[in-house]
Amino acid sequence: MGNKKTTHHLLIQKLGHEFNDPSLVDLALSHRSVGAKNNERLEFLGDSIVNFLMAEALFQKFPECREGELSQMRAQLVKGETLAEIAKEFSVGEHLNLGPGELKSGGYRRESILADAVEALIGAIYLDGGMAACNEHVPRWFESRLDLISPRNSNKDAKTRLQEWLQARKMPLPQYVLINTSGSDHQQQFTIECDIHHLQQRFTGDGSSRRVAEQAAAEEALTALHQSE
């Protein structure tokens, strides 16, 4: 995975926060498999912060929505799959500090580890720069997803939302093709390609099952399509 400590500056640039204490980044990227000095406490902190920030963003964006609708939309934004997608956009896996077992089994691709690292990075930003720093940077990571979300589709998965988007524009449905499988039988990683033929575009997603990978690919497609509108 390369010399991670020398490449953290690339990740920091993507995160947007200039750390006064770069050791917090090292800690946030250290999985519990490396020992007692790991990111679990930062993850705990970041989980609370991202839930608050998304709650605030949704509260402002949807003044007419009730609590239940806001809760559903927040759950969609902060779920593990979404956090893992953000981790992949930032190439967080390339920077993770993993123990030998996790490294050998491909832990740097595992969605749960990636999602936890994103929460830990949010916790690190909070400790380094306070809530103002979190409020400045973290909502930007979710911007395209906040643009897409609505009370109507908050309980619909990405494949369903992509299908409805295409049908509304009288476009053919996407094709999902398995392009790669890696890892051991118990810890397989799937890569799925979502082909939107009419647009001559393809989007890929990874996951611990074909279903999860298909959802990730559909989410990538939705984000790109929304940005191109």
Binding site residue list for Mg(2+): 43, 116, 119
Binding-site residues, in ranges, read: 43, 116, 119
Give the Cα separation of 225 and 228 in Å (integer).
5
CB neighbour burial string for 12-29, b if at least 16 within 10 angstroms, e if fewer: beebebebeeeebbbbbb
Q: What are phi and psi of 194, to 5 degrees?
A: -100, 115
Cβ count within 10 A of residue 152: 10
Integer Rg of the chain from CA: 18
User: Is residue 118 helix, strand or coil?
Assistant: helix
CA 106 and chain centroid, separation: 18
What SS3 class is residue 169?
coil
Q: Report the alpha-carbon distance of residue 125 to residue 50 in Å, rounded.
A: 11
User: Considering 85, 119, 128, 206, which one is annotated as catalytic?
Assistant: 119
* Structure-derived torsion over alpha carbons of residues 149, 229, 138, 5, reported in degrees to the nearest 10: 130
Q: Does the annotation mark 157 as catalytic?
A: no
Catalytic residue among 47, 102, 111, 219: 47
Residues 176 and 58: their CA atoms lie apart, in Å, by 32
Q: Residue 90 burial by CB count (10 A; 0-12/13-18/19+): exposed, middle or buried? A: buried
Tokens for 140, please give them.
């930007």
119 among known catalytic residues: yes
Residues acting as catalytic residues = 47, 119
